[in-house]
Structure 1
């Protein structure tokens, strides 16, 4: 809705206060302000209209009061939440961007954002795929899957690969990368619908519903009678404990996330770490920002996979910025099926 000439109303999602335990929708406030549709005179900022917002598990850590140094800063209570998104440039004071450009990168959870450091934005190169893909398969989750599997895990044809949270934004890609390499791949997820997706859409060799398994160790032994070469870790806690018992000698574990622990005030212990020594396991944590230089080669490879139908991607799209808090909270209850995206505007 227009206000004064050159201004628009701007619905925003603001963090109310630091969160302890499981986040709630009430921890995020829907508010409105106005935004001028021009960048300040002499500024090198870029004003964008946000089209898609990405809901990602790492955002939970940014909602907590900072106690130890992390790779991302905590959100500021009373300020707009920020995260990855896809946007259209409305006005630009930066020589690399022009009105009408489509971009991906970190933006605000609001209808319009003034990006004061647009060097972090990436111009969208290919538009023959859904723009929302740049929040997922062609964005941070996609590069995370690519780096974690190919760079950290050093896979070889014929190896056995296990992926937890396998139907999520990252896991569904890891499984497909592994199949393209000729690996045997098993995934776990939290519902029968997701298990069916893994087996029937993403081409996993097998999958199980971890919520239905009384004994995770037994479930893994059933799926991997000879052990696991590669584990792509998204969950932590009890799952990691069971996996360690089932790893092969010289196995590799890429630690991408530990979503089972994010909302706990007291972290679960891992009791089988002795396996790291006895089995000579290489276990490495990693974050996508350290590997941004690989994005161009990743993009060219994966866009070709998509065009050739070698990779498929499932998204869970919810429409309307007012539903963004619910969509983010749903990640931690497993409500989403595939990559969770919020559609703000179509253009």
Structure 2
């Protein structure tokens, strides 16, 4: 029996390694031929022991990405959502495959609900009432400007579906939370930390007090890393079981969320964890200065993410049978352990 050729980009990442671990534990794993692109020869050798085929290289090598994509029926892109070169590479490979074989590849591309930050202030001073739903593609497409975060790449992926040489599915996680733990991370191959929460933790530790942009008045959704990874498998299973019932292209937006939090609530949880460890005298967050925004969040413009609104709901994702159970209360309760994990990581 021939195996399904799968290409996964981002195998050493926080989310990518978690998805890869789920695929390797899948009941039909013996029918998969999973190829991953990885820069490190040492990590490639370790990955081989998991039964995957590692290829040494980078997503910056567009020709290599194209070549690997041409060999794949299914592509999971869980690498950099904003890498246009890599995206054009795997799309070109899929187009070649379609032209040569007639196969219509499945492309599951990772974007993010950050595309909706345009719909509310990003200065931490207000909460928007604008909420996007993943089952209202018309609203998403009409309302989202081409200049929105990730959107330029998303549009290129959507065009591939429009042209008919691939079926594309856009997965848009919200704030992914939790310290990841899976066999690939345990083997020293992958990263166990996300981006948004760790950045706030590092800033709080660095300044000795939890911080917020403005008043911390912005709303985002959250989703646990394991439950977000599980959605990729749910989506894949739905596509392979009954593809006609699974929306793709402009009807293939799938959000990852299970509740909302304010940036103030997150900062307050970090503050409590610092006080508990004697690293701060107050758990009350204070406003970041301009200098701190640049120091801890790369640039003042990027720091706006931590004071923005990006509100969504995910009925389309849930319609596939995905049922996330961990709540925002679980998220905030997890911050204490994540602060501890970062402190240990700093000492290592």
TM-score range, shorter chain: 0.3 to 0.5
Larger RCO (CA under 8 A, 6+ residues apart): 2
TM-score normalized with structure 1 length: 0.34
Higher helix share: 2
More strand by share: 1
